[in-house]
Amino acid sequence: MLRFDGSVRIWLCTEPTDMRKSFNGLSALVKHRLSDDPLNGHLYVFINRRKTQMKILYFDVSGYAIWSKRLERGQFVARFDGSVKQSISFAELQCLLEGIELNNTRRYKRFSLAAV
C-alpha cells in the first residue's frame, strides 16, 4: 500500500481520465491539465469515466511510480467540487478506495497546523 509522510498532498483529478495512459501520459496531464509539477512528490489520483478504475501517479526519489486499482463490481464514489483538481486527505483517499461515501457523513472540527 502507499505510504508517505505528512508533507505529501493528494490531488484528485475531477475530470475523467483515459486509463490507457501510463507514466508519460499521466505526468503530461499533471503538467498541462492540473498545472502542477509531477516531480514534487505529491500523489495524483485519476479515475476513468465509468468510475471503475483508478490510477495514482507519484514521484519518489528514483522515478515515477503508478498504483492502479480496477473494480470488478461497483464504482468509486468521488465528490467533485467543480474545479479541475481537488485536494483530499489520506483518510478520504482510503475511504474512496474502500467504497465509503463521504457526502452524507458529518465532519467534526480538528486541529490543523495549516489553519494556524
Go through the chain and tell me how many residues it has.
Answer: 116
CA–CA separation, 36 and 106 (whole Å): 31
pLDDT at 110: 78
**pTM for the whole thing?**
0.85
DSSP assignment of 40-75:
GS-EEEEE-TTS-EEEEEEEETTEEEEEEEE-SSS-
pLDDT at 4: 64
Q: Could you state, in order of their start, the residue ranges of all structural domains in the chain?
A: 10-115
Whose CA is closest to 23, among 51, 52, 60, 77? 60
pLDDT at 116: 56
Task: Give pLDDT tens digits along the chain (116 positions).
Answer: 456 677 889 999 999 999 999 999 999 999 999 999 999 989 999 999 999 999 999 998 889 999 999 999 999 988 777 788 999 988 889 989 988 877 777 777 877 766 55
pLDDT at 7: 80
